[in-house]
Each structure stands twice: as structure tokens, then as C-alpha cells.
Amino acid sequence: MHEILRALSVPSFVLDLGCATGSFPPDATNARVVCLDLAAPPGRRGTHHFVQGDGAALPFRSGQFAAAFANHSLEHVEQLDTVLREVCRVLRPDGALYVAVPDVRTSTDRVYRWLARGGGHVNAFTSARALAAQIERETGLPHVATRVLCSSLSFLNRKNAPQPRRALLIGGGHQGALFLYTWLSRRLDRFLGTRSSVYGWALYFGNVPGPVGTDTWLNVCIGCGAGHSSLSLRQQNNVPSRMGDAAVSMSGLPDHQSLRR
């Protein structure tokens, strides 16, 4: 999503849809961020503005936003086509849209729904291509790129939230267990061609500035769920340069901000 956020200027508005307190930190963009959700969050972060409302009837004028983000929210909405049309309405003609959703077929999403007793998911996405076609049809925005997303099972991390008793069956949320799972899953995928480390997709639409890399980011923090390229981690001196992708994927850095999987 940062490909879009970095290019936005101060006068622009950004819509963060169904995000509670926000999908990204305030310093990720110079634009003014408006967070919208059905329920008011217990706390607010940074300088984001929060609006309580329904994605199927957005309380904003047409063409108000330069970009919109649906970061793991579309799987929760009951009127998906209506929400997509509303997003199109409030976007500028030259706007950009970022969507991230889980693949219901992955082991990560199955674990999430098992622990959360469904997790509030009402849409089961099984194909990035089919979802991209649906979004294009309802918004009129061209599909630009798709990136495969990997998981660190950070939603299981007991340092982020108390875990139900059933989580003891899969490590109890200890960071050591999460690190081991991620280390093993990356290697299984590399050598056996499996998808044990994958949980979903990020899709880009509309006027996305610059090229969007479509390589899979294997490096996902077990603390916060933020994904990073190996190059960016090395440039920030967060990992030894001799370590490979699968080896550095669970850095667990405390300064990562994204609270997704």
C-alpha cells in the first residue's frame, strides 16, 4: 500500500475503510487520512480522523478521496458490490484503490476462523483473478497488479492479545512457536511447491503511481504482521546481510506498525 501512500500530497484525502483505528501509521503519508468503520474504536491513533459509518452508504461527497484502502475489510462486508460502487463514487476519477483479502483456502485463514469462531467473515475469496474482475466491474478501475501475501500468524501472538485456550493446540501464541512455523513453512513452500506460508492477496487498481512489485514478500514480522522486502530490511540494518529470505522472515521487530496478519 505504501506505493500509493508515499505519492499523496497534503491537500489529498485518503479513505481507510473498515479499519478500526487505522491500517497504517500517520507518518506513512502526507495526505489526510479518514478512517471509517461501523463501530467506534476504543482508542484512536495519531492524527487519523475517524468517522463511524456504513461502507454501503458512505457519508462523503463524490470524488472526495485521492485513494481508498480496504485492508482486510471486504471479507467482512455483507453488501460487497454496493460497497465497491460507493468506494468508486467517493474516489476521484484519477484515484487509486488498494485491497487486501485472505484466501479462504489457506491454512492460515482456516486457523484464524477456527480460533475466532468465524472471525466475522461473510465473504469467502478463493480467486484473486475473480475478485479483481469483480472490483473492476463495480468500480470501473483497471486492475494494475496483484501481490501474494504471506503470514507470520501474528494474530496468534500472545503479546498482541490474549489467546483462547484452544490456541494451546498450536503453540499457545509463544513467539518461539510462531518463528518455527514461519521458518518451516517458507522452506516447505520453496522445496515442495506448497502454499503453507500464504494467506491472501494485495490487489492494486486505478492510478497507482510507479510500478508495483509483484514478488512475494516472505519477511513478515511475528510481532505485528508487517511485510517487508529483504532489501529494505538490510538497508535499515535490521538483519545480517548474509541471511536469506526464509531466514529473516520472522525478525519480530518492535517498530513495525501494521497490525495485519
Domain-by-domain residue ranges, the chain?
A: 1-104+120-149+199-210, 152-196+217-261
Q: Give pLDDT, residue 218.
A: 73
Question: pLDDT tier at 95 (50, 70, 90 boundaries)?
Answer: very high
Please tell me the CATH code under which domain 1-104+120-149+199-210 is placed.
3.40.50.150
Q: Give pLDDT, residue 37.
A: 86
Question: pLDDT tier at 96 (50, 70, 90 boundaries)?
Answer: very high
Q: Give pLDDT, residue 143.
A: 95
How far apart are the C-alpha atoms of 53 and 51, rounded to whole Å? 6
- Taking residues 229-253, report their average pLDDT: 47
Query: Which has the minimum average pLDDT: 95-99, 222-226, 233-237, 245-249?
Result: 245-249
Whether the predicted model's global pTM rises above the 0.85 cut: no
- Taking only the tens place, the pLDDT of each residue in 113-131 is 777 666 678 888 999 999 9
- Taking only the tens place, the pLDDT of each residue in 152-169 is 777 766 666 666 666 565
Torsion of Cα atoms, 31 then 4 then 126 then 74, to 10°: 10
How far apart are the C-alpha atoms of 143 and 189, rounded to whole Å? 27
Q: Give pLDDT, residue 243.
A: 41
- Taking residues 14-33, report their average pLDDT: 81
Strand segments, DSSP code E, in the chain are 13-17, 32-37, 49-52, 65-71, 91-102, 143-150, 198-206, 219-220, 227-228
Q: Is the pLDDT of residue 223 over 50?
A: yes
Q: Give pLDDT, residue 251.
A: 36
Q: Give pLDDT, residue 170.
A: 63
Q: What percent of the chain shows pLDDT beyond 70?
A: 71
